[in-house]
A and B are shown apart, each in its own frame.
Chain A
Amino acid sequence: MKISDQIIMCLQNLFRRKVRTALTVFGVIIGTCAIVVMVSLGVGMQASQDAMLAEMGDLTMITINNYSGRKENGDKLILDDAALHQIQQMKHVDVVTPFYEPNTWRAFTLYGGNGKRYKSELYTVVGVYPEALEKMGFKLNKGAFLSENQGDTIEILGGYYFPYDFQDTRKKRNNTVYYWNTKEDGSMPDPFIDIMKENKLVLQINNAKENGKTIDMKVKGVGILEYDSQNYQTGYGIFVSVKQLKALEEKYNKLNNIKASEDEKSNYTTAKVKVTDMKYVEEVQAAIDEMGYDTYSMENIRKPMQEQARKQQMTLGGLGAISLFVAALSITNTMVMSIYERTREIGVMKVLGCMVGNIRSVFLMEAGVIGFMGGVIGIIFSYIISYIINLVGNGLTGGFSGGMSMGGGVYMDMGMGMGGGMAQTSIIPWWLALGALVFATLIGLISGYSPANRAVKISALEAIKNE
């Protein structure tokens, strides 16, 4: 028997019992909808979580802290070039850089313009490996990144708002340009100086004693970074080579008669590690922890959240699965009834030379088609329901976090970070739709399996018997 004939026969049989087929398919539709919509809520929840976390920080970034210079057991621990080199050698580590931020307040001041007219108290100076910034994902607004080999001139890379940090020392009033005082066309106002063109930039190493000796260092501005909310330093801070920063610090200490230990001189206190992929973060972080450092990454938050989300998804999916299970029972029932009715027909088919395998596959196909049709229509309905949920959900909560609706307490306070917008409560990704379709068809085939075998076992004698 040809496959095409089997398919036609199967469809004819289903069509003959329209109402019963429709009702059974309807059961599968409900089951599929239940599973898809439930899981889509879970997926939506997870997506809003991830979006939330991404907003809070780069998911592939690990931050290492070593303020104390001691391990938990009191042993000496230094985060220096050697240690960073060791981390760089680890598997899945993309790039490593110190993120050294000494307390520079009143230590350094940056001047520009004629006669040090404009001044900026350097609150935030970050020492990094010059070549690492780009790889870490920092974006330039204009200019260039720090060059790798620098001479005596100190190269600085300013944060996005850094140019507005200068004050005009000759004025008592209006001595600051605020970036929010936009021009008529909406663009930002011009700062007092353009650090990339200014050739009179000077970094002054201050002396704590009044009228004490100070040192001026020549400075060159190489570029301006884009502002990145994950790193506040890209706002009003500046980035310099960590080597130059250490040298500046040493000069300051000398000037002010501060004695620093060798360990203090080489310790970076903070460093950042970028991992090649989110999924390796946990592994790399564990390895760095092993070295004795304090580490922090979004994984610390993500993991428990993910675990909880997964549990909720399972619960939701399980609820959906119950209704699909009921649908499976109704498929079995329909098939058993249908075979019972067609006993004679099956017998006749056998006597006319129909292979038992063909009879089985026709019946299996019928059950499979019921599952498949239910799956297809169910998925279409699911998309509609999902659309309505998102419409109503966003309308009611004003685009609040997806976690809210299902009562995940954790997401309440986290959800605030999301703000209003495109948060979707229910998301149906392609794999869910496809998976549901395959699952529904499979359910049909499984429910049809035992009835189909029953059909095969019907004796051909049944057909001969006269009523």
Chain B
Amino acid sequence: MIRSITQQKPMAEIIGHCEGASKVFIVGCGTCTTLTRTGGQPEVVKMADRLREANKEVTGWMVLPVACDELTSEALEENRDAIAGADTLLIMTCAFGVQTIAMHIDKPVVPALDTLFIGKEKAPGLFGEICVQCGECVLADTGGICPVAGCHKGMVNGPCGGTNKGKCEIDSNKDCVWTLIYEKLEKLGRLDRMRAYQPPKNYHVEPRPGRIIIPFDARSEDDGTKL
């Protein structure tokens, strides 16, 4: 399952964003930030203690099941009074969750976390970036391993000169993705794909901010809602 990978901001920055707010309500997320130990229940409880140490009153806290889900507005209702009593909401979810909560609550929201990348847990406690949503998928030529996300330089036509015994020149703890691709293609008997030339990428497949409208006819269970 894809995950939004986060890390906590420095405490001084969090306190700085809460300046002028004496009462704070904290929101965590039971999905990605619980997995990354940045916004699950233990982290939310610890944050409440640290805010109290900084002379803030914590009016309450909750860990939403899935902060970016549309049911978030209903879940927040359960803590309506504690939220109403707060000057600011401190959000320990990824940026998707922060924005979802901001849509439903007319109170200042402060993100406690920085959202780093969209990835997955490759091994217990190890999170890696899998896809950067570049808009032009090259996986057919690369053995199903993405060089755009997996290479520091995003090289799509083979490795740079920095590949070193299968590791990356930037970080010897990281695998050189082109070595992985080479080995996979060799295993598949498709080394000829190493020669496939990837033309210059189109950086405007879907200009930001991305917005896609599914054609009316293609909506199998259209509810008539206008997009």
Binding between chains A and B:
no
